[in-house]
Amino acid sequence: MSSSAADTLASTARRIEHLLQQRLEPTHLEVRDESAAHIGHANAGKGHFRVKVVSTCFAGLAPLQRHRLVNDVLASLLASDVHALAMETLTPDEFFK
């Protein structure tokens, strides 16, 4: 992977983190770039990311609703810079058990 591609993916990871922090106010947030594991695959130029988001915003929501909320927050990036996004969405009670 070229350094410019790595810089772009790092920038995308920072933007993911910023948007999630801003909109969901998580008590815990992890953003991992897993793009290197997908070099040579279709759409490899776009990022493959995994996030773990712990937020009170998820209280009372079903898993699918939580994922839709994250997708809504990241919609602009999903349309342009992200090929795949794996996510774990938890409330603080679920995370700190």
Q: Which two tokens stand for residue 94?
A: 């679920």
Residue 23: closest CA among 67, 86, 59, 74: 74
> 22-61, pLDDT tens digit by residue?
999 999 999 999 987 655 555 555 789 999 999 999 999 9
Q: What's the mean pLDDT in 14-28?
A: 97
What pTM does this model have?
0.85
Query: How would DSSP label each residue in the chain?
Result: --HHHHHHHHHHHHHHHHHHHHHH--SEEEEEE-GGGGTTSTTTTSEEEEEEEE-GGGTT--HHHHHHHHHHHTHHHHHHTEEEEEEEEE-HHHHT-
Q: What's the mean pLDDT in 66-89?
A: 95
pLDDT at residue number 4? 64
Distance of alpha carbon 27 from alpha carbon 56, whole angstroms:
8
- Above 80 in pLDDT, residue 67? yes
